[in-house]
Chain A
Amino acid sequence: MNQIPIGNQQPGSAATDDVLVERCRNGDILAWRTLYERYSQPVFRFVSALGVPPEEREDAAQDIFVAVYRGLKQFRGEAQLSTWIYRIAARHASHLGRRRRMRSFLSILPWHEPEPEPQPDAAEKASELRLLDRLLAKLSPKKRMVLVLFEIEGLGVNEIASLMGCPPNTVWSRLRHARAELVKAARRVAT
């Protein structure tokens, strides 16, 4: 393993995504490091907002970046690199969500040990964020995905449509419903 000095002195930290991808494909570990630094925070934030519990986030991020790494050779640049990474992260978070729901279903069986309560992330002390996560969890997975991508990650509707494989109007519709449901849930909590 090569030790790479931290900081932003690394060459290429200001490189465009296209250049980074090309350099990663050529086995440039500095470029890989830069790509990770650029996208690790959004990936952690995204999986957090999609409801991946703190104790699973590290493994999820690891799997996502391994998938990114593995898929870089096939990345044709038709979408933005960020959209492509979000798509991988979204798919992985959905998979984890299904697995959690299955575990939760199995845990109601009498002989199955109950799932331990997820531990709050020590790094996130803000109870507001935890409450927001709880409210987001009330949305359907598709509505939650659209809302998180639009409101938190700041993606455009067309980008979300491309990422989710649905028409832009569907994205708008889901977003409208998700916002309404979220406000309703927030009011319910407030009262």
Chain B
Amino acid sequence: MNWLETRRDEAEKWLGDTLESARQRTGDEVARRRVWTRIEDLPLGRGLPVRRSRSFVLPILTGALVAVSAVAVLWLVPATRPGHDSAVVKRVAPSFAPTTQPGSATSQVVVQAQPAAPVRTGRGEKARVALPGGAAVELDANSVLSWDAERRPLVERGQARFDVPHQAPGTRFAVSAGPYVVTVVGTKFHVGVGDDRVSVEVEEGVVEVWRGARSVRLTEGDAWAGPTHGAASSAVVEHRVALASPSSPRRASYGTSSRPASSAETASPAPSVELKEARVALSEGRPEEALDILAGCAKGTGPAAENAAYEIGRVLRDDLHRPRAALAAWGQYRTRFPRGLLRAETDLSILETLANVGEKRAALVEAEAFLVRYPNSERRDEVAKLAARVRGTIGP
């Protein structure tokens, strides 16, 4: 860092130190792990849909066009001006009743500001319904679409094809289907709900099918079907049932699944709602609340529980300044998840915490065990130095 080697004033000193910190920035281990759980089962050898980089001009022009169109719609159509009881305004809240235009096999559903009512299609009928967030759904014949308690579209019966534009960062579009919740960022997919099973087929993009704390991730061309154990959407939260187990093989409902059945069956770990709530509570300075949420989440099973079990230790140590309680929590993690994905991180956390609280001999034992267990770790040097330092202070 030659240009700041001779630091002339406080500002340059601060800048030099902060750039050094930026070089050491590790980011959030759990976030990195979550990303891994989303990409680890990429279909090897198959092309994937990725947003291509675009020129600078195109988004500007598109944005300008959207802005001009929005102005035109808002000011030229009286019924949609702000302040009026308009369909556009009401469309934001999914409480509307549709009316179908007669005289065609595929009827366009018009959104109206009325109390919520299900959309039903009869024999030979189809309907297209505009949904909040710019999404749309095409209902096939003999289908019913309504809204669940959390105001998500709920496919009660039949077949529905969803077309969801890319959602704003941090937001996901969700559809209920029997006991499952299908979440997407932006995609096209089909949902079918029959008497005894729910099926999902992905036309474009990536979707996740959730049941309780377990999920399955589907990519373009994948088809999935799961049993319907209770049609009520509220069952999603109440039933913490594995989506599939080796003894209950999942069927490819449309016969177009491009993955081996065993691969498609495995529940894929994904960020749970509880973990997100805990992160929010932490960022808002409510560590006790975060701890409660994490403790609840850790009682479950799967990756979310594993993440929570590790995070409990971190909150206890870093936010509540209770290092010994943190050590106990990480000890529990190791007992529950001896081969967990966060095992190495947990071992390191225990080691660092032991050193910080002055448990030098225990820290040394941990450090030596770490070096044996992870001979190729990128943090090997760091741990070796720590071990040498501790050894130096406690003597032979």
Contacts and interface: CB of A to CB of B under 8 A. Distances in A.
A122 B283 contact: yes
A66 to B, nearest CB: 5
A100 to B, nearest CB: 9
Contact of A55 (B30, B170, B344): B170
B147 to A, nearest CB: 22
A154 B74 CA distance: 51
A128 B32 CA distance: 22
Given A45-B27, A61-B35, A62-B39, A152 B45 contact: no
Given A6-B344, A190-B11, A61 B28 contact: no
A120 B285 CA distance: 11
B174 to A, nearest CB: 16
Nearest to B287: A122
Contacts of A189: 11
Contacts of A66: 39, 42, 48, 50
A152 B25 CA distance: 10
Contacts, number: 167
B375 interface: yes
Given A41-B26, A111-B70, A186-B12, A6 B339 contact: yes
Contacts of A183: 11-12, 15
Size range of the chain A interface in the assembly: 35 or more
A7 B373 contact: yes
A61 B11 contact: no
A94 B340 CA distance: 35
Contact of A123 (B21, B31, B34, B185): B31
Given A40-B36, A70-B50, A106-B67, A126 B21 contact: yes
A79 interface: no
A13 interface: yes
Interface in B166-201: 169-170, 185
A152 B40 contact: no
B56 to A, nearest CB: 6
A36 B39 contact: yes
Interface in A32-81: 32-33, 36, 40-41, 44-45, 48-49, 53, 55-59, 61-63, 65-67, 69-70
B11 A1 contact: no
B275 to A, nearest CB: 11
Given A7-B374, A126-B21, A154-B23, A120 B283 contact: yes
Given A66-B48, A119-B280, A186-B15, 4 more contacts: A2-B40, A48-B25, A59-B185, A124-B25
23 contacts: A1-B40, A7-B374, A8-B344, A8-B374, A8-B375, A8-B376, A9-B373, A9-B374, A13-B376, A14-B376, A41-B26, A41-B27, A45-B27, A49-B22, A58-B31, A63-B50, A69-B39, A70-B48, A109-B67, A111-B74, A152-B22, A182-B15, A186-B14
Interface of A: 1-2, 4-9, 13-14, 27, 29, 32-33, 36, 40-41, 44-45, 48-49, 53, 55-59, 61-63, 65-67, 69-70, 91-92, 95, 98-99, 102, 105-106, 109, 111, 119-126, 128-129, 131-132, 151-152, 154, 179, 182-183, 186-187, 189-190
What are the 5 tightest A-B residue pairs by CB atom distance, in nearest-first order? A123-B28, A44-B27, A27-B44, A8-B376, A1-B41
